[in-house]
Amino acid sequence: MNVSSNLNSLKSVLGGRNIYLIGMMGSGKSLTGPSLAKRLEYSFVDLDVVLEKATGKLIQVIFEEDGETNFRQLEKQVLTATGQRHSLVVATGGGVVTLSANWGVLHQGIVIWLDPGRDRLLARLRKDTIKRPLLETKDPEKVFDQIFATRAQLYAEADLHISVQDESAEQVAQNIIDQLPSILSL
């Protein structure tokens, strides 16, 4: 079978089910998502962006003014609304996995964990210009390690685990396309 017929059978088996990208801050969900969506002829949605548009506030401001618990409730609402739609690649916020109710939505689609590993994540976050409110502390590395330790087993609930090195977003998207058949009995 040639490449385009492989892609067509992948799309047909997916049947419009949403694809949720999960993983720690800095794992490349928002960068990889558009490239993956383009390949699958899906639309791309970034949950953090939808949440900021819906509230008219930056994530950072929501954390400051309303606190993390309220942020998680908003995130759940935005995820639930997004789950009503189909044919989407969704970049989730790193903490979406922490509410068990969110898994009800995530598992209606295909869940993919992007995992660059601790050291690569920290290196990326050091360079990143986007502020991560949870890491605005005296010892961000220590806090990062604590968060990662509690979340690793949740990320491992994903349908597909993609180890990421220093590939481009396009290459990561292609790796996902190449590995999806293994979990879809193709």
Query: Applying CB under 6 A, does 25 fall inside the site for ligand S3P?
Result: yes
**DSSP per-residue string spanning 11-36:** HHHHTT--EEEE-STTSSHHHHHHHH
Span interacting with ligand S3P, options 89-97, 100-108, 138-146, 166-174, rule CB under 6 A: 89-97
- Residue number, 14 or 35, with CB nearest to ligand S3P: 35
* φ/ψ of residue 115, rounded to 5: -130, 90
| Shortest CB 133 distance to ligand S3P, Å | 5
Query: Applying CB under 6 A, does 59 fall inside the site for ligand S3P?
Result: yes
Site track 92-111 with ligand S3P (rule: CB under 6 A), x = hit: -xxx----------------
Q: How many CB atoms lie within 10 A of CB 121?
A: 21
| Shortest CB 138 distance to ligand S3P, Å | 18
CA distance 78 to 38: 22
Within the chain, where are the H helices? 3-14, 29-40, 47-55, 59-83, 100-106, 118-127, 140-155, 169-183
Query: Applying CB under 6 A, does 122 fall inside the site for ligand S3P?
Result: no
Query: Applying CB under 6 A, does 28 fall inside the site for ligand S3P?
Result: no
Query: Applying CB under 6 A, does 133 fall inside the site for ligand S3P?
Result: yes
